């Protein structure tokens, strides 16, 4: 197995680098992590898969760039949930350390790619809402489906490239540098760079949403003064304001769920972590799954188009179920009448 410089506070690990990061010491902690990951991961995959189905099964919805970005967010959350739960539970609960450095860094790269793409998709959605509200007359010319797909391609390629840098050689084993106290084989400088990337994304999202909210408040004031002019423009404004408020709720959940993890990551770069804080980090990591699980619920409750599509799907399912239940009864009635005759 590959060996690197072990964190100073983990020197008691008998030289096994991977075991130094298995911080869950009791069976109760492992069961708790397993239950949280299983529950959040299953719900996240189901809910986000439903969102993707609602978007791409409706021609009217999937043609809109806004929902392409939301679809990208749902896809990123699905991938992040599957890769994160499988690797996290396998490592911390079952204490599986028999895989190589390359396999571990590949798993970590998959998790980082998915979570970074999720955050970047929120940024594209924020920019999309900003254009829609600030320049409504030019929006369709500026934000075409081709440009939306191009932006998504660049987004995923950039996130994958940054996430795979440790696998490509930027790790503490190859560089013989100081390893992170939170992630095996990860160089502290790379972790600092990744944190800067995430902070820049969050800053851009907050900046864009500040303008979206400002414009939304202006539109609300305009609609209150011109309620008699109930035209197509006012309808469009109401939709933009509703979607802007929805995405602000998504951003609020994102910040609340990611803040503990990011704070501990930043702290680990500048100071040593105790065993207790490393255990806290393991439990806080499950909040990222909670964030991915809550996002689709917000879409279903706040987006009228997605909610209407969801109602149509449930109505169609109920009709099929009712037809399936009535069919055997009708056949049985027919057979009974034949026997009586």
Question: For residue 90, is pLDDT > 50?
Answer: yes
> What gap in Å lies between CA 275 and CA 266, rounded to an integer?
16
Range of the domain at 294: 24-227+238-306
Question: Is the residue at 149 inside a domain?
Answer: yes
Q: What is the CATH number of the domain that holds 167?
A: 1.20.1070.10
Enumerate the H helices of 57-97 as residue ranges.
Answer: 59-62, 65-92
Q: Using the CB atoms, write b or e for 95-117: b if 16+ within 10 Å.
A: eebeeebeebbbbbbbbbbbbbb
Question: Is the residue at 340 inside a domain?
Answer: no
* pLDDT computed for residue 15 by the predictor: 43
Please state the domain count of the chain: 1
Residues 16-71: pLDDT tens digits?
467 778 878 788 888 988 898 889 999 999 999 999 998 888 888 888 888 899 89
Question: For residue 241, is pLDDT > 60?
Answer: yes
Q: Do 134 and 213 meet the contact criterion of CB atoms below 8 Å apart?
A: no
Q: Do 184 and 129 meet the contact criterion of CB atoms below 8 Å apart?
A: no
> What gap in Å lies between CA 340 and CA 71, rounded to an integer?
57
**Would you place residue 233 in the very low, low, confident or very high pLDDT band (cuts 50, 70, 90)?**
low
Residue 144, token pair as written in the block: 């075409």
- Closest-CA residue to 2 (of 90, 101, 109): 101
Question: Is the residue at 252 inside a domain?
Answer: yes
- Closest-CA residue to 65 (of 130, 156, 158, 160): 130
**Would you place residue 104 in the very low, low, confident or very high pLDDT band (cuts 50, 70, 90)?**
confident
60 contact partners, CB below 8 Å, separation of at least 6: 305
Question: Is the residue at 334 inside a domain?
Answer: no
> What gap in Å lies between CA 97 and CA 175, rounded to an integer?
22
* pLDDT computed for residue 18 by the predictor: 72
Question: Is the residue at 11 inside a domain?
Answer: no
SS3 171: strand
- Cβ atoms < 10 Å from Cβ of 221: 10
């Amino acid at each position: 197995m590959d060996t690197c410089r072990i964190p100073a506070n983990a020197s008691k690990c008998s030289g096994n680098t991977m075991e130094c990061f298995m911080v869950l010491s009791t069976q109760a902690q492992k069961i708790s992590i397993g239950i949280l990951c299983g529950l959040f991961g299953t719900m996240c995959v189901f809910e986000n898969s439903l969102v993707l189905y609602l978007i791409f099964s409706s021609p009217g919805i999937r043609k809109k760039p806004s929902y392409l970005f939301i679809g990208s967010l749902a896809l990123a959350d699905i991938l992040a949930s599957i890769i994160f739960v499988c690797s996290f539970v396998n490592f911390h609960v079952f204490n599986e350390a028999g895989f190589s450095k390359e396999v571990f860094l590949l798993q970590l790269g998959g998790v980082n790619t998915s979570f970074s793409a999720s955050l970047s998709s929120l940024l594209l959605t924020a920019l999309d809402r900003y254009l829609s509200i600030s320049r409504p007359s030019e929006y369709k010319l500026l934000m075409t489906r081709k440009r939306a797909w191009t932006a998504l391609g660049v987004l995923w390629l950039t996130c994958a490239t940054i996430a795979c840098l440790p696998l490509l050689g930027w790790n503490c084993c190859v560089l013989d540098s100081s390893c992170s106290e939170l992630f095996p084989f990860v160089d502290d400088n790379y972790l600092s760079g990744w944190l800067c990337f995430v902070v820049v994304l969050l800053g851009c999202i907050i900046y864009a949403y500040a303008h979206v909210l400002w414009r939304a408040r202006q539109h609300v004031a305009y609609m209150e003064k011109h309620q008699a002019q109930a035209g197509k423009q006012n309808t469009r404004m109401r939709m933009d304001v509703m979607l802007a408020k929805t995405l602000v709720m998504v951003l609020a959940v994102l910040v609340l769920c990611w803040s503990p993890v990011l704070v501990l990551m930043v702290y680990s770069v500048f100071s040593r972590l105790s065993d207790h804080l490393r255990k806290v980090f393991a439990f806080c990591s499950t909040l990222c799954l909670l964030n991915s699980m809550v996002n689709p619920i917000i879409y279903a409750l706040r987006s009228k188009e997605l909610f209407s599509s969801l109602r149509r799907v449930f109505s169609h399912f109920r009709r099929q179920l009712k037809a399936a239940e009535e069919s055997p009864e009708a056949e049985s009635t027919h057979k009974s009448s034949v026997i009586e005759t």
